[in-house]
A and B are shown apart, each in its own frame.
Chain A
Amino acid sequence: EIVLTQSPGTLSLSPGERATLSCRASQSVSSTYLAWYQQKPGQAPRLLIYGASSRATGIPDRFTGSGSGTDFTLTISRLEPEDFAVYYCQQYGSSSWTFGQGTKVEIK
């Protein structure tokens, strides 16, 4: 099973700052199979990025996914108040899916 490790666990930033979230896989993951989700308290997760770098419908262009192989990154160019949330990466492999443990982006 591929393990996804997200870092940092918590990111404390101010609105307007840039956020860089990391997702590292225990073995190589096809970019096609890598996604990112946002979850706010009391809400279901929302798909942000699929295929490592494609934004889902309605996702603002301040969200950018990049990376390949074992290292993937989600960048939020300028944090808006509504972006403070928990972010998960996810991968598909061998007819199963795994999630990273999440990165919380909190207001500094």
Chain B
Amino acid sequence: EVQLLESGGDLVQPGGSLRLSCAASGFTFNSYAMTWVRQAPGKGLEWVSGISGSGGSTYYADSVKGRFTISRDNSKNTLYLQMNTLGPEDTALYYCAKRVGFSFGLWGQGTLVTISS
């Protein structure tokens, strides 16, 4: 079955760090660029970061640049998002998604990150 499964979401204090994971199955992981998209509670979708299939190219939204790092381990079919210096504005449901062309054709169910003291 083709699927994405996120994990790693948690309650973290402001200024803290967290690493999210996204396990992929059912497709040739290293052939696809991947991305992270987040959704604050009751709000719309916000693109966060993207990475090429090889991992050689990475992209970030201005809101997370310098704080978040996207990476992937193609031997483990897993995508990561290292998040540092977290603030309340980072509270959201974080989705990983598989890029198909210039759109996001497959989404996971999301993992919840809550930043609060």
Contact = CB atoms under 8 A, between A and B. Distances in A.
Which of A32, A33, A99, A102 gathers most chain B CB within 10 Å?
Answer: A99
A47 B99 CA distance: 11
A50 B103 CA distance: 6
B58 to A, nearest CB: 10
Contacts, number: 60
A56 interface: yes
Interface residues of B, number: 21
Interface in A18-64: 32-33, 35, 37, 39, 43-47, 50-51, 56
Contact of B45 (A45, A46, A51): A45
Nearest to A48: B103
B95 A44 contact: yes
A99 B47 contact: yes
A49 B35 CA distance: 18
A38 B108 CA distance: 14
A32 B103 CA distance: 9
A96 B103 CA distance: 11
Which DSSP category, helix, strand, loop or mixed, fits chain B's interface? strand
A36 B101 CA distance: 14
A95 B107 contact: no
A50 B102 contact: yes
B105 interface: yes
21 contacts: A1-B62, A32-B101, A32-B102, A39-B45, A45-B37, A45-B45, A47-B100, A47-B105, A51-B101, A88-B44, A90-B45, A90-B47, A90-B104, A92-B103, A96-B47, A97-B35, A97-B47, A97-B50, A99-B45, A101-B44, A102-B44
Interface of A: 1, 32-33, 35, 37, 39, 43-47, 50-51, 56, 88, 90, 92, 95-102
Interface of B: 35, 37, 44-47, 50, 59, 61-62, 95, 100-105, 107-110
